[in-house]
Structure 1
Amino acid sequence: MSLRIIVVLAVLCGVTGSPSVTVRPEADYAITTVHPNSVPETVEETELFEQLDILVEEEAEEDVMATGELNPNHYQAQRAAKVVQHYLNTRYGSPYRLLGLHKVHSGNAEDVADSGRKYQLEISVQETLSNTTEKCSAEVLFPRGEQQSSPQVQALCEAHLKINTTAQEEALYQRYKMNQSLLSAQYIPDSYGHIDPDMKPFWHLCIVASSFIMLNESSENTLYNMAQVANITQLATENDQLKFDCHILLHDMVSQEIIHWKLLFTWSPQEGVKVLQMEQLPHCHDCEKPPNIN
């Protein structure tokens, strides 16, 4: 049995297994199944069973980057399209608006001299909270060089910008701007995948903030999702922005690694999300374990 088939079977076990695995933010490991809290941000991820045959067929050709027209379900087109999702969230995401990849309709890849590889994509983007979709045209350039650079993205899809979330955002902003006590929370979602309703806007907000990391770190060999907010703390600020410090867990579905990052960011309805600092946390074998949250 080939390694690729073994990985596919491991993923299948991860989808059908127990959801009660406790996430331990201090752990230094590479998991072999889908992370229990990893968010299925695309329709394709929720249709895993239908794509197992495609993954097996790709095994022999995965090491070869194709040019020209791509299979929309092929890993190359899917990974490039996922980068477009992160790009859109960095520009337009909010606590009440998240943009996700719904479907790749077509894709084309070409080598661009010494610049890198360019992908031309026709995709459907879904506004996950209102469950509306729209077709978009996008271009993703993965730069070539000894030092990895973040992908360059252009996307044309304007309809989602017309979704009006102003009233909800303003109410959330005023509530936490005027609070006497600052927000502090851990493990969003918890080990069962549960998110307290009051914390859902901050889960969304952290997904938006983490999109800056996922966009910056993405390559043709990665496929990132947000897995969990280990902790988030609201910080005092003298300006009009709400300010947050958080520790997040990202899941690279290609390597099956859980990667820990520290984020410092601000948000307001007028200015959106602004990332001030992002730092990948070192591997930690001896950190204090979190309490059992089962």
Structure 2
Amino acid sequence: MALRIVVFLAVLIGVTWGLNVTVRLESDSVDMSAHPNSVPEIAEETEVFGQQKELIAEEVEEDVMATGELNPNHYPAQRAATVVQHYLNTYYGSPYKVFGVKGVHSGNAEDVADSGRKYQLNISLQDFISKSTENCSAEVLFLRGEKQQQPSPPQVQASCYELSAINTKVQEEAFYQKYKTNQSLMSAHLPDSYGHIEPGMEPFWHLGTVASSFIMLNQSTEDTLYNMAQVANVTQLETENNQLKFDYHVLLHEMVSQAIIHWKLLFSWSPSEGVKVLQQEQLPHCHDCEKPPNSN
């Protein structure tokens, strides 16, 4: 079915991955245009991190399930690229290494008999902390299943060797040692009520992004586009088996439906083992946070 969209977006980037992070949020709602992982649906140019930019999209017609060569700025290619972002975070993310899509250069899609639809992409990915960028080739297969069943997670292959090899061992070990013996277990929400994240709390925001990628990867389909909007609450639990342990309440923004979805996450982390999600639970629907403010 053809999809005709006219979009005029004024995007104000409030979250940067440097030392100062400022964004205005309410506790149960968030403007996803302020998140550096946000992806414009259809635009003539992509956003520049840390700057205010207007994105004026032209009126287009496109079959959402088009085969063959894809427009890099349109939904199908952008959705598949964001799945690669979540995939890399689940395997290589840490408190000091978080990946996101910087741009899609080319892509094509094809139906795979008895399997689903396969997307082949040439994209740029960035580590938001070090600002390192790499052009990567990736393949995403959205598996075909029964509609009444829970969709299977997409299968991803990506060659991003330079990003995955970024060395953050020194920072991670220092963070681990600091909180391994912490006697007063930390509890906070990010950003705080003033829309600010203290530099010392940024690793906990990064951990929330990485852990949320586990959920977003598993929930992604050809009809969704997920980003983490907010860490509503993070509580450090007692260290077990030399693993830091955390209880997170995160808000995910499904950008197609504009729904804000609440999830509870229990996970552990250490420099040697990475993030391990132990429990996850989707919380009841929130009627007051369906759509972030200023998302017209």
Q: Shared fold (TM-score greater than 0.5)?
A: yes
Shift of 1:15: 4.5
Q: Secondary structure at the match of 1:84?
A: helix
Instruction: Kindly provide the amino acid, as one letter, of the partner of residue 103 in structure 1.
Output: G
1:72-126 alpha-carbon deviations (Å, 9 max, x no partner): 1121101100100000000000000111111111101001112110000111111
1:184-210 alpha-carbon deviations (Å, 9 max, x no partner): 112x11355421111100000110000
Structure 1 partner of 2:292:
none
Contact 1:38 1:251 in 2 (8 A): no
Q: How far apart, CA to CA, are the structure 1 residues paired with 2:93 and 2:283?
A: 25
Residues 61, 36 of structure 1: alpha-carbon distance in 2 compared, 3 angstrom cutoff:
closer
Q: Quick check: 1:77 aligned with 2:77?
A: yes
Structure of greater relative contact order (alpha carbons < 8 Å, 6+ residues apart):
1
Q: How far apart, CA to CA, are the structure 1 residues paired with 2:212 and 2:231?
A: 10
Contact 1:69 1:107 in 2 (8 A): yes
Q: Secondary structure at the match of 1:209?
A: helix
Higher strand share: 2
Report the aligned-residue RMSD: 2.7
The correspondence of residues 81-230 of structure 1 with structure 2, limited to 5 A, is 81-145=81-145, 146=147, 147=149, 148-186=151-189, 188-190=190-192, 192-230=194-232
Higher helix share: 1
Shift of 1:249: 0.4
Give the alignment partner of residue 255 of structure 1, picking from 233, 254, 257.
257
Contact 1:39 1:226 in 2 (8 A): no
Structure 1 partner of 2:54:
49
Q: Secondary structure at the match of 1:140?
A: strand
Contact 2:185 2:236 in 1 (8 A): yes
Residues 20, 271 of structure 1: alpha-carbon distance in 2 compared, 3 angstrom cutoff:
closer
Instruction: Kindly provide the amino acid, as one letter, of the partner of residue 216 in structure 1.
Output: N
Q: Which ranges in structure 2 are unaligned for 5 or more consecutive residues?
A: 15-21, 40-44, 289-296
Q: How far apart, CA to CA, are the structure 2 residues paired with 1:45 and 1:126?
A: 14
Q: Secondary structure at the match of 1:107?
A: strand
Residues 202, 38 of structure 1: alpha-carbon distance in 2 compared, 3 angstrom cutoff:
same
Q: How far apart, CA to CA, are the structure 1 residues paired with 2:188 and 2:12?
A: 27
Q: How far apart, CA to CA, are the structure 2 residues paired with 1:280 and 1:89?
A: 20
After superposing on structure 2, the runs of 4+ consecutive aligned residues of structure 1 that deviate more than 6 Å are: none
Shift of 1:21: 6.0
1:23-78 alpha-carbon deviations (Å, 9 max, x no partner): 233x8xxx9xx44654445693548734522xx31xx325x411011111121101
Structure 2 partner of 1:270:
272
Q: How far apart, CA to CA, are the structure 2 residues paired with 1:237 and 1:96?
A: 20
Q: Quick check: 1:281 aligned with 2:283?
A: yes
Contact 2:32 2:38 in 1 (8 A): no
Q: Secondary structure at the match of 2:46?
A: helix
Q: Which ranges in structure 1 are unaligned for 5 or more consecutive residues?
A: 287-294
Alignment size in residue pairs = 269
Shift of 1:16: 9.5
Residues 184, 120 of structure 1: alpha-carbon distance in 2 compared, 3 angstrom cutoff:
same
Instruction: Kindly provide the amino acid, as one letter, of the partner of residue 52 in structure 1.
Output: A
Q: How far apart, CA to CA, are the structure 2 residues paired with 1:268 and 1:20?
A: 29
Contact 1:38 1:228 in 2 (8 A): no
Q: How far apart, CA to CA, are the structure 1 residues paired with 2:267 and 2:198?
A: 22
Q: Secondary structure at the match of 1:204?
A: helix
Q: Secondary structure at the match of 2:107?
A: strand
Residues 20, 244 of structure 1: alpha-carbon distance in 2 compared, 3 angstrom cutoff:
closer
Q: How far apart, CA to CA, are the structure 1 residues paired with 2:202 and 2:104?
A: 28
1:171-224 alpha-carbon deviations (Å, 9 max, x no partner): 0000000111111112x1135542111110000011000000110111111111
Structure 2 partner of 1:290:
none
Q: Secondary structure at the match of 2:167?
A: coil
Contact 2:37 2:101 in 1 (8 A): no
Q: Secondary structure at the match of 2:239?
A: coil
Q: How far apart, CA to CA, are the structure 2 residues paired with 1:83 and 1:203?
A: 20
